[in-house]
Structure 1
Amino acid sequence: MNFSFVSGELARASGELLVIPLFEGETGDTPPGILAGVHAALDSRLLAAAAQEGFKGKGDQSFVIHTLGKLAADRVLLLGLGTRARFTPEVLRLTAGRAAKTAQRLKTRTLVFAVPGGLEVTGAVRAVVEGLELGAYRFDRYKSSAREEKNAPKLTAVKLHVDGEKTKEQEQAVALAQRVAEATNWARDLTHEPPNVVNPARLAQAAQEMGREVGLKVSVSGRKEIEKLRMGMFLAVAQGSANEPQLIHVEYTPKNAKQAKQPPLALVGKAITFDSGGLSLKPTDSMVDMKTDMAGSAAVLGAMKVIAALKPPFPVHAFIGACENMPSGTSYRPSDVLVSRLGKTVEVTNTDAEGRLVLGDVLTWANEHKPSALIDLATLTGACIVALGNYIVGAFGEHDATVNEVMESARAAGEEMWRLPVTELQKDALRSEIADMKNSGERWAGATNAALFLKEFVGETPWVHLDIAGPSISPKERGYNAKGPTGVGVRTLVEYVRRRTTQLEADAATEAPTPKPPAAAKSPRGGRAKG
């Protein structure tokens, strides 16, 4: 989409669709300033017509009316924001997503979006742009009807109506929002693709293509290299499939030599490109969506696209172990004992608890790069969905400062998280009679048990595990999300890197020595010269 700014009288803003978000209480007899001119131009009938349809500005409410030539816009769309007291930028992001979907249904090419007054404008602009870009997303490349509608009108131009003149900060917010939304949509594409298209080799190829596009170093290793790294758990999960496993390493390194020597931030994404459950075979209904078991890796790769443009003053590395979990004569079995890269032995009690096995070896490898912090994203457990539902990420970790920083970044990015415990009280659930540990414990506290397993492979590094099993797929259309993959995690990781960059720059400014004033020049007689 092409975004531009407009100001002045809203009724004169030209476009096919004029979008006006409203809070509850702003649809009474005295319309707010943003709406007053539009209401008057429509012979003061807009609010009465909206009221007849039950529109009160509540969240998820909408109302569309033709202007019949009385405005520069063809239609007006009113969208409810709910109460102002409960407003967050995510409300506006979701609302903008609904605007994009309405524009699609109306086959609208141009849109004017009135950014609500009384808000922090730069943040509101970013939320609107992200919501519109995310809301306009569709994955229909395999539908014959989409080929027939290839030339159908699409939303291509958006005018953002703000009070006053545009600022440099607002323009920067638009650029950042577009990068983040486009990367999220790219992650959604990867996750949407069927497993016969995105297998481990294709995922590795996508990482390499992305690296060339944005200037990141991408290294890909196959089975022989993985064997040399002694990743016994990763290899066991992969051995049932005809598709070769791939170990992917993406590196962002600052050009400043001093900055490049800093310890990197390490991001790890789960990448089971299809999970049948292995010999512990899933039922059909549970297997249908298992092409999305690589959503964590898609989010990490999407975030790296944006991080390359942000150019933080510290290295950022992404580590991904990609494979399929398939049943065959060569599959790993319940009762097998595996030797991890760390040297710990693991008794397999359930081949459908495979993600933690691959992650364990990849986390060990990532930790050998001596990162300052380690964050992993994984569609790891159904138990986390039972606990938190379809829209909330489970966050685990013992390093309070790092966990809190990630959760604050998520909140600012509009991705909901809730912290769950990593407690030694559950450690007995993973105790094995014949090995150091089991890969799966009892039914209870399943998400915590999985986090405890991963904890064994991160040492003392500050570590955060994000279980995205629920939010990685939206069960229905909601705001800017369609039914299907969401790209959850991209926005959080980008915001975490941005905040960390800001903090480091602030610390550097504080620690910089105060420059000494220049020595005064001396006169020929030895006294000080007068200015």
Structure 2
Amino acid sequence: MARKQATAKARTGKATARKQPSVKAAGTPAIELAADALALPVYEEDVRAGGRGRVKALDALLGGALAAAVKAERFAGKAGQELSLPTLGRAPAGRVLLLGMGPRGKAEAWPSTGFEPLRHAAGKAARAAAKAGARALAVALPEDGVEDVAGAARALAEGALLGAYAFERYKSEDDARRTPLAELTVAVPAGAERRAELRDALELAREIGAAVAWARDLVNLGPADCTPTLLAEQAEALAREARLAVEVRGPKEIAALGMGMFLGVTRGSSEPARLVTLSWIPRGAAAKKPPVVLVGKAITFDSGGLSLKPTESMVTMNTDMAGSAAVLGAMRVVARLAPPFPVHAVLGACENMPGGKAYKPSDVLVSYAGKTVEITNTDAEGRLVLGDVLAWAAQTWNPALMVDVATLTGACMVALGHTTAGLFGPDGAAVDGLLAAAGASGEELWRLPMTESLKEQLKSDRADLKNTGERWGGAIAAAHFLHAFVKDVPWAHLDIAGPSHAPKERGYVAKGGTGFGVRTLVELVRAHRP
């Protein structure tokens, strides 16, 4: 019964089912704020020799209990340290959380990372507050060392909202659920709370928090629930809510377009494929400007096909559509930003399954671009679908900028781990824009080379290309395969195989789907100048 109820929830016609906490700024001194929990980022200097500033004032309110706890727990304000203390009615907040930020001098580098240390600290505070049953959380900027108040406040708000996330759709027992965050207050210097810049920053944080949470929800769904049809329905629901244009094509329309690689991947599955286009189109002459195009890999379950994965590698393959979730999440925010140029999101959604009709190693598929591709491994399916979608998008719109986001290769995860995405592409606006956007958002990208010698691995004796090369340099070879289908369009590829799914909690990142990529794509669109 619990599974049936969960499935029904997953198939509602709403793209944004989560209730979002209220978010506001307050110029009241942090230790005077009434909340269930108060989080204070502190430097090492703030807790030395009995403390200074608000730490010292708070200790006085608590009758020396804070200083005693600092000493007993050996809390020194080092980066990553936490100290939680109930106030027992001696302060307006029911609980105080000290968040170590390291030496004050390191705060100078925070703006270049989008204030990521503050985002992580606030995420940890929100998780700790939820475990303590808090519904109202206040987080404060450090007392000094921060000049960009709006940027720092946005990072704190984003971190708290993302840290409060929990995926509980399949939990049937109420006592297994966390207390949801209902109110978030960001304490800022007096007077700053009235600035429009700060209000806009917090509103953007709230939108991004909701978009990332939605993307995480989609990634965390089981594959019986998150089918290609469900992804298309979610895109349609978002279009209705955000006044975006949407078009959904089924197998017949995909075949009519000549997307032989896409359809080849789908042959083993009973779930019908969907080609989904979601578009923001401004009014007037701006509608004719060259668009930004975001393409997301949308393999809703990847068994490997006839090149079957082992069980342990298949368990997390419900997350193989994380690229599409990132693109959909970004489009939710794009609709609010209303940029003066078109933005299109495209998803080629399908499953990769074995079966009597499944595509086979040694098959030769004909792509939308007319190139023939020899199949050497059916578990390299994502690049086939993306190749057709990228070629179609490039020809349809001639974009000013095109980015694909995909859980493409295990090789990239071996190279960069679970927290960093690989960035590939020729020099130009797409790569430069993504690097700048990642720096502004706090998400970690690392550019990897498009080494020409590895392109040779894709040569086929029977067709124009093979879909895989050697084991070594696999992420680079995959990027070369995609590049063959984008022609001269400014393009970049994000391989998010590592950071799309977290094996454990970290900062504001919950275990499971992370929503990685949403924030970077939003910043890319915000910074784009046609």
| Residue 240 (structure 2) aligns with | 212
Distance 2:127 2:230 in 1: 31
Asked whether 1:67 is paired with 2:95, we answer no
What do residues 248-281 of structure 1 show as CA deviations (whole Å, max 9, x unaligned)? 01111011x1111101111100000000000000
Cα distance, 1:72 vs. partner?
1.3
Q: State the TM-score, normalized to the length of structure 1.
A: 0.92
Q: What one-letter code is carried by the residue in structure 1 that aligns with 2:125? A: A
Equivalent residue letter for 1:290: M
Does the Cα contact within 8 Å between 2:223 and 2:301 map onto a contact in 1? yes
Paired residues for 1:150-165 under 5 Å: 153-165=179-191
- 2:295 matched residue in structure 1: 268
CA deviations over 1:276-312 (Å, ceiling 9, x no partner): 0000000000000001000000100100000011000
Alpha-carbon distance in 2 for matches of 1:455, 1:360: 8
Equivalent residue for 1:96, pick from 90, 112, 122: 122
Q: Is the 8 A contact 2:264 2:359 kept in 1?
A: yes
State the alpha-carbon separation in 2 of the partners of residues 180 and 365 from structure 1.
29
**2:240 equivalent to 1:199:** no
Query: 1:335 matched to which residue of 2?
Result: 362
- Structure 1 stretches of 4+ with a deviation exceeding 4 A read none
Q: Which amino acid aligns with 1:29?
A: A
User: 1:149: Cα distance to partner?
Assistant: 6.2
Residue deviations 1:420-460 (CA, integer Å, cap 9, x gap): 01122111111101101100000110000000000000000
Contact kept? 1:109, 1:155, Cα under 8 Å? yes
> Closer, same or farther in 2 for the Cα pair 1:63/1:345, shift >3 Å?
same
- In structure 2, how many angstroms separate the alpha carbons of the residues matched to 1:352 and 1:83? 47
- Structure number with bigger Rg: 1
Find out whether 1:123 has 2:174 as its counterpart: no
Mapping 1:436-455, distance limit 5 Å: 436-455=464-483
* Structure 2 runs not aligned, ≥5 long: 1-20
After TM superposition, the structure 1 stretch with the greater mean CA deviation from structure 2, 219-228 or 13-22, is: 13-22
Amino acid at match of 2:458: L
Tell me what 1:519 maps to: none
| Among 136, 143, 168, the residue aligned to 1:110 | 136
2:45·2:104 contact (CA, 8 Å) conserved in 1? Answer: no
Following superposition, the deviation at residue 14 of structure 1 comes to 1.2
Is 1:317 matched up with 2:344? yes
2: CA distance, partners of 1:95 / 1:341:
47
Go from structure 1 to structure 2 and tell me whether the alpha carbon gap of 1:402 and 1:85 turns closer, same or farther (over 3 Å shift). farther
**Counterpart of 2:335?**
308
Q: Which residue of 2 aligns with 1:77?
A: 97
The structure 1 residue matched to 2:492, chosen from 458, 461, 464, is 464
- Which residue matches 1:351? 378
Task: Tell me the residue number matched to 1:56.
Answer: 76
Asked if structure 1 preserves the Cα contact closer than 8 Å seen for 2:402 and 2:430, the reply is no
Distance 1:9 1:268 in 2: 45
Determine if contact 1:10/1:38 at 8 Å carries over to the other structure: no
Say yes or no: does 1:385 pair with 2:405.
Answer: no
* Contact 1:399–1:463 (8 Å) recurs in 2: no
When structure 1 is superposed on structure 2, of 401-410 and 27-36 the one drifting more is 27-36
Between Structure 1 and Structure 2, how many residues are aligned? 499
Distance 1:491 1:420 in 2: 21
Cα separation, 2, equivalents of 1:436 and 1:226: 22
Residues in 2 aligned to 1:365 and 1:326: alpha-carbon distance in whole angstroms: 24
Cα deviation digits, residues 368-417 of structure 1 (max 9, x gap): 11111110000000000010000000000003332121111111101000
Name the structure 1 match of 2:13. Answer: none
Q: Could you tell me how far 1:31 is from its partner in structure 2?
A: 2.7
Indicate conservation of the 8 Å contact 2:247/2:276, yes or no: yes
Rounded Cα–Cα distance in structure 2 between residues aligned with 1:39 and 1:8 = 18
Structure-2 residue corresponding to 1:527: none
User: Could you say what secondary structure the match of 1:323 adopts?
Assistant: strand
Work out the CA distance in 2 between the residues paired with 1:211 and 1:274: 24
CA distance in 1, matches of 2:279, 2:326: 15
Give the structure 1 partner of residue 7 of structure 2. none
Q: Which residue of 1 is the match for residue 44 of structure 2?
A: 24
Q: List aligned pairs for 1:338-417, cutoff 5 A.
A: 338-368=365-395, 369-417=397-445
Give the TM-score of the pair, scaled to structure 2.
Answer: 0.92
The 5 Å alignment of 1:135-146 reads 135-146=163-174
Secondary structure of the 1:112 match is strand
Specify the code of the residue in structure 2 equivalent to 1:205. Answer: E
Secondary structure at 2:45 match in 1: coil
Kindly state the Cα deviation for residue 12 of structure 1 after the two structures are TM-superposed: 2.3
Take 1:398 and 1:84, find their aligned partners in 2: how far apart are those partners?
39
Q: Tell me how large the CA RMSD over aligned residues is.
A: 1.4
Q: How does 1:253-292 map to 2 (within 5 A)?
A: 253-255=281-283, 257-292=284-319
1:131-182 CA distances to partner (integer Å, 9 max, x unpaired)? 1110111111111124x567x7432112221111111111111100000110
Distance 1:66 1:428 in 2: 63
Determine if contact 1:11/1:41 at 8 Å carries over to the other structure.
no
Report % sequence identity. Answer: 52
Asked if the contact 1:34/1:116 (under 8 Å) is kept, the reply is no
Bigger shift: residues 448-457 or 154-163: 154-163
